[in-house]
Amino acid sequence: KSREMCDEQMLVEEPMSDSPISMNQSYDPASIPEYPFPMEQIPRMSINDPRLQHLIETSQPVVITDSQLVQPALKWNLRYLKSNLGDGLYYVYSSHNNRFKYFDKERAKQCSSFKQPTTRKEVAFSDFIEMLKKCNESTERIYLQQTLNDTVGPNIVQDYLQFNWHFVSRIQSKMQWGDLSSNLLLIGQEGNITPVHYDEQENFFAQVSGFKRCLLFSPDQFECLYPHPVSHPCDRQSQVNFSNPDYQRFPKFRDAHAVEAIVGPGDVLYIPMYWWHQIESLASAEPYDHGFTDDAASSCGSDTSDEDIPPVTVSVNFWYRSSPLPQQIEYPISAQQRVSVMRNIEKMVGAVMGSPDEVANLLRTIVDGRYN
């Protein structure tokens, strides 16, 4: 019952009243940033819905509400993770604002004019929790992003093995996707934003705790989202800041249109390869329970208490390489294929010409006055 109520709640966007389950059941609608472009809703459906297969086959975003994909992870609060993740090191990104724009470290080194939008540290999970506490007193924000690997403790391994692999493997083989390339564990503060970008892998994005608003744009909106040059450290990321768009430099951004989904615990969003996405961690409607101040912990004198730690969201993504065989080229080619062709041309010309300006001049020389 609570599942349907939660879905209905999510649809009407009304915060849920007191819920029987301890995990947070709703988010604060006031924490949703407003943007200038129109938005449609991404369909939400059960794993048994007959429409699901067709949506995935045609690379359409969809939220699957009852896949049980990461059901064992729904208990992953910070206390459980601190006790069970083991002593592996975790990448933690820091930002002076709430935006966590990806950049390629190696390329950043060669780009003297490039100012890094975030810094990265490699820390133990307990240090990450200490860093979270410090964020309470500053405007600094952090985002843990780490591939789940064999350093995790036995309980996490058990949880991972209990993921609904039947569900994802069935789709992986039916769609002739390549291997699962990685599962990223993502723990970020409420309010964190991953700015709009695309990835070159299929993605089952599983929400574990807290709520994330996902804005997706089809690959054919390449012209509206003005990605950085392929050779730039921020390759695959849009140059447009949704919170402060520069319409002089990016006039076609006015034509962008998004599909939106707010995903909560247990939801899985299919983000097709090359689809642009911006992911925003929303504020939960109730105080956040990290699991540190239940009576057992306080009686055993655990030094951490919940209120010292800002609320976070937890996600696990499943990145799959695309089908290795180049699909039989059918005309007209798909938007994804167009992006792939453009990337290859930029890479080839970039490898030959010295600077990005030379690349632009050469490409303009090819088309100006000749292909009109």
Ligand X SMILES: CC1(C)c2ccccc2-c2ccc(C[C@@H](CC(=O)O)C(=O)C(=O)O)cc21
Spatial neighbors of 307 by CB under 8 A, at least 6 apart, are 293
* 137 DSSP assignment: T
Q: Is residue 123 a contact residue for ligand X (CB under 6 A)? A: no
* From 45-53, 128-136, 192-200, 248-256, span contacting Zn ion (CB under 5 A): 192-200
Q: Could you say whether residue 239 binds ligand X (CB under 6 A)? A: no
CB burial of residue 102 (10 Å; 0-12, 13-18, 19+): middle
Query: Interface with ligand X includes 288 (CB under 6 A)?
Result: no
Q: How far is the CB of 150 from ligand X (least distance, A)?
A: 21
Provide long-range contacts, Cβ within 8 A and 24+ apart, for 162-170. 162/71, 162/72, 163/69, 163/70, 163/71, 163/72, 163/73, 164/67, 164/68, 164/69, 164/70, 164/71, 167/47, 167/67, 167/68, 167/69, 168/69, 168/204, 168/318
**Closer by beta carbon to ligand X, 82 or else 236:** 236
CA distance 205 to 140: 26
* Residue selected from 24, 25, 67, 194 as contacting ligand X according to rule CB under 6 A: 194
SS3 at position 84: helix
Q: Min. distance of Cβ 181 from Zn ion in angstroms?
A: 13
If one counts every other C-beta atom within 10 angstroms of the C-beta of residue 267, the result is 27
Determine the straight-line distance between the first and last CA of the chain, rounded to whole angstroms: 60
Are the beta carbons of 156 and 208 closer than 8 angstroms? no
**Toward Zn ion, which CB reaches closer, 7 or 280?**
280
184 is a site residue for ligand X (CB under 6 A): yes
CB of 215 to ligand X, least distance (A): 11
Scanning residues 308 to 337, which ones bind ligand X (CB under 6 A)?
Answer: 315, 317
279 binds ligand X (CB under 6 A): yes
DSSP string, 212-240: EEEEEE-GGGHHHH-BPPTTSTTTTBBS-
Q: Is 143 in the site for ligand X (CB under 6 A)?
A: yes
User: Do 293 and 306 meet the contact criterion of CB atoms below 8 Å apart?
Assistant: yes
In angstroms, the CA 324 to CA 99 distance is: 33
User: Binder to ligand X among 9, 25, 145, 237 (CB under 6 A)?
Assistant: 145
- CA-nearest of 252, 263, 248 to 216 is 263
Q: Which CB atom, from 310 or from 353, has the smaller least distance to ligand X?
A: 310
**27 in contact with ligand X (CB under 6 A):** no
The mark string for 196-215 relative to ligand X (x by CB under 6 A, - otherwise) is ---x---x-x----------
For residues 85-114, which are near ligand X according to CB under 6 A?
93, 100, 102
User: Residue 42 CB, nearest distance to ligand X (Å)?
Assistant: 15
Of 19, 71, 25, the residue nearest 206 (C-alpha): 71
List the one residue from 28, 127, 199, 200 that touches Zn ion (CB under 5 A). Answer: 199
Using CB under 5 A as the binding rule, the residues of this chain from 7 to 26 that contact Zn ion are: none
104 binds Zn ion (CB under 5 A): no
> Which residue of the chain is nearest ligand X when measured via CB?
194
The gap from C-alpha 161 to its chain's centroid, in whole angstroms, comes to 22
Return the number of the residue (10 or 279) whose C-beta is nearest Zn ion: 279
- Binding residues (CB under 5 A) for Zn ion: these are 199
- Binding residues (CB under 6 A) for ligand X: these are 93, 100, 102, 143, 145, 184, 186, 194, 199, 203, 205, 277, 279, 315, 317
